[in-house]
Amino acid sequence: MGRIFQFEEEKLISFESFEKANKKIDKTINEKIPQFKEHFKKVGIEFKDVKCITPNTNKEDAQEWIINSDFIMLMGGNPFLQKDLIEVKGLSNLIKNHNGVIMGFSAGAMNMSKYIIITPCSEEYPEFDVRVGLNLSEISMLS
């Protein structure tokens, strides 16, 4: 893959949706983000500054981090909780107008789409559910 992504300062912003906030926040910060950083480093992309936007993040800080980021990573989890977090922090338009790279994994990829489509698949998602995504890609993700 090499250096496909070129950034000025290589700042990564990560979103995580949280059902059990403190435990998941700790796991994301201490396990998931270091793992992703290591995977990117293996292909020549090293992030100098990484921030994780959580429900505890100050709205103004979250907005500043998005504005000043080179790379936004929308993590997995519950896509609806993640979308709510994006809305509560006032980040939708900032993400839509972001000039850097945006990557989504699982729920994050679903939020990048025009519509988030959930089919009955588990206790967490027992019913068919369709909601509006961020519409970054003109496609819809189905889970």
Rounded to 5 degrees, φ, ψ at 94 are -65, -40
**43 vs 8, higher pLDDT:** 43
Percentage of the chain surpassing pLDDT 70? Answer: 82
pLDDT for residue 100 is more than 80: yes
- Region 77-91 average pLDDT: 91
pLDDT for residue 15 is more than 50: yes
The set of long-range contacts for 60-65, using a CB threshold of 8 Å and a minimum separation of 24, is: 62/89, 62/90, 62/91, 63/89, 63/90, 63/91, 63/94, 65/11, 65/13
**34 vs 3, higher pLDDT:** 34
What pLDDT score was predicted for residue 36?
A: 87
Please give the model's pTM, rounded to 2 decimal places. Answer: 0.78
